[in-house]
Amino acid sequence: MADFYHKRRRSNAVWTVLSYAATAFGLGWLVLILGALLWNGVGGLSLDIFTKMTPAPGVQGGLLNSIIGSLIMTGIGVLIGAPLGVLAGTYLAEYGHSSRVAWVIRFINDILLSAPSIVVGLFIYQLFVVPFGHFSALAGGLALAVIATPVVVRTTEDMLNLVPNTLREAASALGMPRSVVIQRIAYRSVRAGLVTGVLLAVARITGETAPLVFTALGNSLFEWDPRQPMSSLPLIIYDFARSPYPEQQKLAWTGALLVTFAVLGMSIAARVLTSRVSTK
């Protein structure tokens, strides 16, 4: 009998230690990766990064055109993806509920949420690059929009489901039509939640590389025109990280630092906003 208790206690101890070890392992990677980014990236941070163009091999330079390109393409992606996602999420939460159509759309949306982003790149390539005959920032932005939309759909629906039904009923009892109830009451009471969805979408597409490789292509020159190929931070990291020149490698690390901290900053901000919504 004592043997039996001993065995149980021992196996409990073993599993507990393994569980602690797993957590240490997971957190260890986070520390290693962030540490490497700071170690290699901070040294390269200077005003030049924000004022100079991406250089040719062996020349000093900055990341200005990539930063602007990232902003433009992320902007296009959000401008298209956010309204589309909010509207679709509204349909799922307010009109569709448990109807068959809504179920199918929700299901497909969840799949698109984790679909391989490189496939989205191929899709936009077929749809916008082949017919127009050249790569463009617009195509890159559209690819990002396709990735951003499901994120916004999902959070919008989740957030609207948090609105108490009594609130809707009260508004309806005052004679407000459905659309006004949604726009004036439901949207307002979860405004922070809707912003969270958009923030999460921006965080998601800021670091996307795969869908841009053959839509936006990249560009070593400064470009405002969205009909031309454009550089972006992830694209330049992809390029320069494999470059044999130390100046370019250094820029890749600095770019990686910028991207990672922008993305992590946004996801933390989104989390703070959500906790505010759900405690309300």
- Binding residue count for other proteins, defined by CB under 8 A: 89
Among 44, 62, 77, 96, interactor with other proteins by CB under 8 A: 96
In the complex, minimum distance from the CB of residue 191 to other proteins, in angstroms, rounded to a whole number: 18
In the complex, minimum distance from the CB of residue 219 to other proteins, in angstroms, rounded to a whole number: 13
Q: For the chain, what is the largest distance between any 2 Cα atoms, rounded to a whole number of angstroms?
A: 79
In the complex, minimum distance from the CB of residue 247 to other proteins, in angstroms, rounded to a whole number: 15
In order, the DSSP letters of the chain are -HHHHHHHHHHHHHHHHHHHHHHHHHHHHHHHHHHHHHHHHGGG-SHHHHHSPPPPTTS----HHHHHHHHHHHHHHHHHHHHHHHHHHHIIIIIITT-HHHHHHHHHHHHHHTS-HHHHHHHHIIIIIHHHSS--HHHHHHHHHHHHHHHHHHHHHHHHTTS-HHHHHHHHHTT--HHHIIIIIIHHHTHHHHHHHHHHHHHHHHT--GGGTTTTB--SS----TTS-B--HHHHHHHHHT-S-HHHHHHHHHHHHHHHHHHHHHHHHHHHHHHHHHH-
What string marks each residue from 136 to 165 as x (binds other proteins by CB under 8 A) or -?
Answer: ----------x--xx--x------------
Among 6, 22, 57, 132, interactor with other proteins by CB under 8 A: 22
Restricting to residues 25-84, which ones interact with other proteins according to CB under 8 A? 25-27, 29-30, 32-33, 36-37, 40, 83-84
In the complex, minimum distance from the CB of residue 194 to other proteins, in angstroms, rounded to a whole number: 14
The smaller minimum CB distance to other proteins, of residues 55 and 154, is found at 154
Among 12, 46, 51, 60, interactor with other proteins by CB under 8 A: 12
Residues in CB range of 82: below 8 A, 6 or more apart: 148, 152, 197, 198, 201
Among 95, 134, 174, 188, interactor with other proteins by CB under 8 A: 95
In the complex, minimum distance from the CB of residue 266 to other proteins, in angstroms, rounded to a whole number: 8
Among 209, 222, 245, 247, interactor with other proteins by CB under 8 A: 209
Other beta carbons within 10 Å of 158: 19
In the complex, minimum distance from the CB of residue 8 to other proteins, in angstroms, rounded to a whole number: 6
Restricting to residues 101-140, which ones interact with other proteins according to CB under 8 A? 101-102, 104-105, 107-112, 114-120, 122-123, 125-127
Stretch that binds other proteins, among 9-17, 65-73, 164-172, 222-230 (CB under 8 A): 9-17
Restricting to residues 210-269, which ones interact with other proteins according to CB under 8 A? 210, 213-214, 217, 234, 237-238, 241-242, 252-253, 256, 259-260, 263-264, 267-268
Taking a C-beta distance cutoff of 8 angstroms, is the pair 277, 190 a contact?
yes
In the complex, minimum distance from the CB of residue 149 to other proteins, in angstroms, rounded to a whole number: 7
